[in-house]
Amino acid sequence: MNNKGSYLIESFLEMMSSERRSSKNTIAAYHRDLSEFLAFMKKKDKDLISNNIDDIRAYLRLLSGSLTSASIARKLSSIRQFYKFLFEEKIRDNNPSINLDQPVKKTVLPKFLTKEEIDNLIQTAKESTETDDVRLLCMLELLYASGMRVSELVSLKLTNFQYQQNNLTPILTVRGKGNKERMVVINDHAISAIDNYLKIRHVFESEEESLWLFPSCGSHITRQRLGQLLKALAIKANLDPKKISPHILRHSFASHLLENGADLRSIQRLLGHSSINTTQIYTHIQLGKLQEVINKFHPMAKET
């Protein structure tokens, strides 16, 4: 019985590879998910041919004690694809996964810094004129001014910028997810930081001139290195380093824009989101802040 289950899983994976052209990572994930499911069925002395929807529900209940809803949803997707295959191949005469409910995903609100914390970071970075700190200030100002993804920032090239009468313009182009190009707007603070950094940029170049805005070791600075530098800066600024990351700066950019009256469509374009649904997560932050205000100041809320 156990060997039969392993054979069925291997048959499914072979189909996904040959007919669906699934990637190696996808195949590996299916294999892991289904092998764990098979192990659970073995403990219940059940097989993958005769088990039913209650057996699958019991497995999902077990997972709910240790995994997030997103992880459970992925494993459920693997199980559904597997049973669809068994049914279509007439290995089973029913599909026990059809009526399974999708796990409810919890809305995880993005973390962000307050305006005071951002200002504290920037002012701390300005205290030093060392070349590393001048570069870090430039990256910090660019991230907060534009809301760029960290991958977009570190891969910036000098050609991404536009000049007018030898002066940097506030508009540059970046390549985001899916290699899509979009326009990004920056403010005067970021432009000033870039100008100051360009004066010492040659320090970070190797023997050959680099095309990257932030060259390092023959390529460009890595996102991991930038994350380390930001956490070190947070410690200098007496902030919790766990609260600081390039992605949190992106969230802060969007949250502060919304807080100051920017509309969601504009924020969507600035962030490079393909769907407005992704951007709407920031409205939940504002609703959370309003709830805090009510709980703090409403007279009825204070009653116990």
What was the pLDDT predicted at 20?
Answer: 84
Q: Which residue has the higher pLDDT, 250 or 176?
A: 250
- pLDDT above 60: residue 293: no
Q: Which of 75, 201, 251, 273 is catalytic?
A: 273
Question: For the CA atoms of the chain, what is the radius of gyration?
Answer: 26
CA distance 64 to 70: 10
What was the pLDDT predicted at 92?
Answer: 92
What tens digit of pLDDT does each residue of 231-289 get? 999 999 999 999 899 999 999 999 899 888 888 898 898 898 888 888 887 776 565 55
Known catalytic membership, residue 251? no
Q: Which of 30, 144, 197, 282 is catalytic?
A: 282
Known catalytic membership, residue 177? yes
Task: Kindly state the greatest CA–CA separation across the chain.
Answer: 78
Q: Which of 4, 105, 115, 177 is catalytic?
A: 177
Q: How confident is the model at residue 67 (pLDDT cuts 50, 70, 90)?
A: confident
Alpha helices in 199-239 (DSSP H): 223-236
What tens digit of pLDDT does each residue of 197-233 get? 999 999 999 877 899 999 998 899 999 999 999 999 9
Q: Exposure pattern of 208-241 as b/e (b: 16+ CB <10 Å)?
A: eebebbbbbeeebbebeebbebbbebbeebebeb
Mean pLDDT of 3-19: 89
Known catalytic membership, residue 225? no
What was the pLDDT predicted at 56?
Answer: 92
The percent of residues in the chain predicted with pLDDT above 90, rounded, is 57
CA distance 271 to 250: 8
Known catalytic membership, residue 282? yes
What was the pLDDT predicted at 304?
Answer: 46
Q: What is the mean pLDDT of the chain?
A: 88
Q: Which of 149, 201, 220, 256 is catalytic?
A: 149
DSSP, collapsed to helix, strand or coil, labels residue 48 as: coil
Backbone angles phi, psi at 170, to 5 degrees: -80, 10
What was the pLDDT predicted at 47?
Answer: 87
Q: Which of 75, 135, 250, 251 is catalytic?
A: 250
Assigned token pair, 8: 């069925």
Known catalytic membership, residue 220? no
Q: How confident is the model at residue 15 (pLDDT cuts 50, 70, 90)?
A: very high
Mean pLDDT of 139-152: 95
CA distance 143 to 149: 8
Number of CB atoms found within 10 A of residue 197's CB: 21
What kind and span of H or E run contains 220? strand 219-220
Fold of 2-88: DNA polymerase; domain 1 (1.10.150)
Mean pLDDT of 97-106: 75
Q: How confident is the model at residue 189 (pLDDT cuts 50, 70, 90)?
A: very high
What distances in angstroms separate CA 198 from CA 4, 144, 148, 265, 302, one per listed residue? 65, 19, 20, 33, 55
Q: Find the angle CA(141)-CA(157)-CA(211) to the nearest 5 degrees.
A: 130
What was the pLDDT predicted at 1?
Answer: 44
The full set of domain ranges for the chain reads 2-88, 115-293
- Using left for φ > 0, alpha for ψ between -120 and 50, and beta otherwise, residue 45 falls in left
CA distance 185 to 272: 12
Residue 254: CB partners within 8 Å, gap ≥ 6? 112, 147, 267, 270, 271, 279, 282
Q: Which of 57, 231, 236, 247 is catalytic?
A: 247
- pLDDT above 90: residue 112: no
CA distance 222 to 214: 9
What was the pLDDT predicted at 286?
Answer: 61
Q: Which residue has the higher pLDDT, 97 or 284?
A: 97
CATH number of 115-293: 1.10.443.10
Question: In this structure, what is the dihedral angle of CA atoms 12, 16, 20, 22, given to the nearest 10 degrees?
Answer: 160
What was the pLDDT predicted at 106?
Answer: 59
